Chains A and B, each alone.
Chain A
Amino acid sequence: MAIGDMIREVDKFTWEIPVQAQAGMRVPGIVFADRRLLERAENDRALQQVMNVAHLPGIVRASFAMPDIHWGYGFPIGGVAATGLEDGVVSPGGVGYDISCGVRLVKTSLSYPEIRDKLDALMDEMNGLIPKGLGSKGRIILSRREMEDLLVKGASELIARGIGWEEDLEVMEERGRYPGADSSKVSEKAFERGKSQVGTLGSGNHFVEIQEVDETYGLADKLGLFEGQVVIMIHSGSRGLGHQVCTDYIEIMGRSIAKHGYQLPDRQLVFAENQSAEGLDYISAMACAANFAMANREAMTHWVREAFERTFRAGARKLGMDLLYDVSHNLAKLEEHSVDGNKVALMVHRKGATRSFPGRRPEVPSRYAETGQPVIIPGSMGSNSYVLVGTEEALEKSFGSTCHGAGRAMSRKAAKKQVRGEELAKRMRGKGILVRSASLSGLVEEAPEAYKDIREIVEVCEGAGLSKKVARTRPLGVMKG
């Protein structure tokens, strides 16, 4: 029987794949989508992956899929899976190769007319300050000891060296320092890959974008956002260090699973018990990669501020360049949630999904207690991005999770067949968007037509109660690797 025949509509934006749909499922699949997105998910085999994830030992309540779901390596992208800390497992595939790929938004007190004439100059400054693309070298050189400190302390390690602001920590997840990080659990190869990549952007769908807030929906002023405001969005992850940590632990856990003779529906779904040596080691290494990612985004923020200072000849603080929030969308977090009336410790995997907590949660900075945790949703290149906030309903429905972005609708190969680089750059310029890209072919793979419609994704998340819109932005200048 096709998956389509087995899916049950729960409400307009929620669909259930029953636990009987496939032998081995321990919990049902829950997909947040409208009909159109559900059909797309079915066609690209993502729903099969949602069912595979439901096999994980110790998985609690459901294998969740966000509206921007599409197929990934083992876990789908846009998948959420929580496992019991005591008796459940942790899976590197549920986090992704790019551990703590995440996004942050930096505010300014400037409005678009004030920067329009200087945008080109600003982009040039940023382009010169931020290393990106294949073969680029980082500007921050650390000794081995300093790298180890960075992996344990995260962003605060760079802030102590004058790179970034102390007050930024307040509005980062875990205050910029994921606890339990142990650099001895990170391999030599990972250290070597990360060494020359501190504060680099990477390539693929990573970017630094200067944007204008073009629509607000209430609560915006409480977050310090206004229509016409110039903001900067930074989307990047843990670079080669995180990718290597994932690769390493897939091998380590793979060997362990092979020894125990356990059958996996998909090799990328390897796991280890949360309390086992391999599980605890991975969690410590993942924490290191998350700290590396947050530190990198802090370094790039520092250079963005510097670019603005040089261009507008004013201090970044005077320009109101405060950090709104920094949030990951590829991470597993230890969180306490209510399950059947009891408080339970869970390892919540969010891969291509963003934590979306209401303000009363202890993890949310006190300044957002009233509004809810900011959720930053980067759109694909040339399209809108969004700022949302988390909700109570998200806690009940998805362990406090929402989408992370538009999700690909077309493979990179297909995009390259359909879109020509020069034509795309011209189209972007025609829309008034300046582009700085390290690679033209990389640019083409990121063409807007290769992605789903972000507005639809965000509306479905709101319809399902997982997050609430606060502001929409449009790009003015895009910098890519």
Chain B
Amino acid sequence: MSLMIETGAVEPSQQVRLEASGIDLKSLLVAWLSEILYQVEVEGWAFAGFRVSEMSDTNITGYGTGEQLDPERHGAKTEIKAPTYHMLEVGRQDGGWSAQVIFDL
């Protein structure tokens, strides 16, 4: 999100449900990020934050909080073409999760 806009400028006033699935953790992460990108590009969301409700190795559901995208107020930077598998890493770390993703801009 911070690649696309100034996330600090977003009011977390509304919520939208997000879900995605994949064949393994890596494709799950790509699918999750693709879904967020879709919400930004098509439904016009600007997100301040995200929350995962449920997750397995192949399915994920959660929420994004934010408001309608206003390119000027939210300081639009660049579009994102897609999350890629290039050097993608995802796994458990210190009781939480850690991931590295490279986006095609």
Stretch in A19-27, A209-217, A251-259, A306-314 touching the partner: A251-259
Stretch binding the partner chain, chosen from A240-248, A321-329, A390-398: A240-248
- Tell me the complex Cα distance, A73–B102, Å: 9
CA distance A74 to B84 in the complex (A): 10
Q: Are the C-beta atoms of A134 and B5 separated by less than 8 Å?
A: yes
Residue interface bits A95-139, CB-to-B below 8 A is 1, else 0: 001100000000000000000000000000000000001111000
Chain B proximity of A480: nearest CB distance (Å): 10
Chain A nearest CB, measured from B59 CB (Å): 14
A94: interface (CB < 8 Å): no
Provide the A46-76 mask, 1 if CB < 8 A to any CB of B, else 0.
Answer: 0000000000000000000000000011100
With beta carbons under 8 angstroms apart, the residue of A73, A204, A268 that contacts B78 is: A204
B12 CB within 8 Å of chain A: no
**B34 proximal to A (CB < 8 A):** yes
Interchain CB contact (< 8 A) of B22 among A244, A251, A445: A251
- Contacts of B74-105 to chain A: CB distance below 8 A: 76-79, 81-82, 84-86, 88, 102, 104-105
Distance A468 CA – B55 CA, assembled complex (angstroms) = 56
Check A255 against B41 for contact (C-beta < 8 Å): no
Is the Cβ of B4 less than 8 Å from the Cβ of A134? yes
A442 at the interface (CB under 8 A from B): yes
- CB contact list, A158-197 vs B, under 8 A: 189, 192-193, 195-196
Chain A residue nearest to B104 (CB atoms) is A97
Q: Is the CB of A73 within 8 A of B86?
A: yes
Bound together, the chains give a CA A250 to CA B81 distance in angstroms of 14
Knowing A98-B81, A134-B77, A439-B77 are in contact, say whether A254-B27 is a contact too (CB < 8 A): yes
Q: Which residues of B contact A189 (CB under 8 A)?
A: 38, 42
**Chain A contact residues, majority secondary structure:** helix
Question: B71–A246 contact, CB under 8 A?
Answer: no
Determine the chain A residues whose CB is within 8 A of the CB of B41 once the complex forms: 193, 240
A475 at the interface (CB under 8 A from B): no
Q: How far is the CB of B104 from chain A (nearest CB, A)?
A: 5
A203, CB-defined interface residue at 8 Å: yes
Q: What are the residues of chain B within 8 A of A366 when measuring CB–CB? A: none
* Inter-subunit contact A74/B86 (CB<8 Å): yes
Please, which residue of chain B has its CB at the minimum distance from the CB of A268? Answer: B85
Give B80 Cβ to nearest chain A Cβ, in Å. Answer: 8
Known contacts A97-B104, A192-B42, A247-B34, A202 near B79 by CB under 8 Å: yes
Cα–Cα, bound, A198→B38 (Å): 17
Residues of B within 8 A of A481 (CB): 79
B8 within 8 A of A: no
C-alpha gap A133/B105 in the complex (Å): 12
B67 to chain A, nearest CB (A): 13
Please indicate the chain A residues that have their CB under 8 angstroms from the CB of B26 in the complex. Answer: 267
Report the separation of the CA atoms of residues A328 and B27 in the bound assembly, to the nearest whole angstrom. Answer: 29
Q: Do residues B44 and A135 form an inter-chain contact, with CB atoms below 8 A?
A: yes
Give the number of residue pairs across the A-B interface with Cβ within 8 Å. 92
Tell me whether A412 is interfacial, beta carbon within 8 Å.
yes
A136 CB to closest chain B CB, in angstroms? 7
Q: B residues within 8 A CB of A196? A: 42
Q: What residues of chain B lie closer than 8 Å to A134, measured between beta carbons?
A: 4-5, 69, 71, 76-79
Indicate if the CB atoms of A250 and B105 lie closer than 8 Å.
no
The answer to whether B84 touches A268 (Cβ under 8 A) is yes
Q: Which of A97, A136, A202, A254 contacts B82 (CB 8 A)?
A: A97
Cβ-based interface call for A409 (8 A): no
Q: Are B23 and A255 in touch, CB under 8 angstroms?
A: yes
Q: How far is the CA of A247 from the CA of B88 in the complex (A)?
A: 15
Q: Is the CB of B38 within 8 A of A192?
A: yes
Q: B60 in the interface, Cβ–Cβ < 8 Å?
A: no
Cα(A136)–Cα(B70), bound, Å: 10
* A410 at interface, CB cutoff 8 A: no
Do the beta carbons of B85 and A267 come within 8 Å of each other? yes
Among A97, A202, A247, the one with the most B-chain Cβ atoms within 10 Å of its Cβ is: A247
B: residues with CB less than 8 A from A are 4-5, 22-24, 26-27, 30-31, 34, 38, 41-42, 44, 69-71, 76-79, 81-82, 84-86, 88, 102, 104-105
A interface with B by C-beta (< 8 Å): 72-74, 97-98, 133-136, 189, 192-193, 195-196, 202-204, 240, 243-244, 246-247, 250-251, 254-255, 258, 266-268, 412, 438-439, 441-442, 445, 481
Q: What 3 A-B pairs come out closest when comparing CB atoms? A: A135-B71, A134-B76, A267-B85
- Give 28 A-B contacts (CB < 8 Å), ordered by A residue: A72-B86, A73-B84, A73-B85, A73-B104, A74-B86, A97-B81, A98-B81, A133-B79, A134-B76, A134-B77, A134-B78, A135-B44, A135-B69, A135-B76, A193-B42, A202-B79, A204-B78, A204-B81, A240-B42, A243-B81, A254-B23, A266-B86, A439-B76, A439-B78, A441-B77, A441-B78, A442-B77, A481-B79
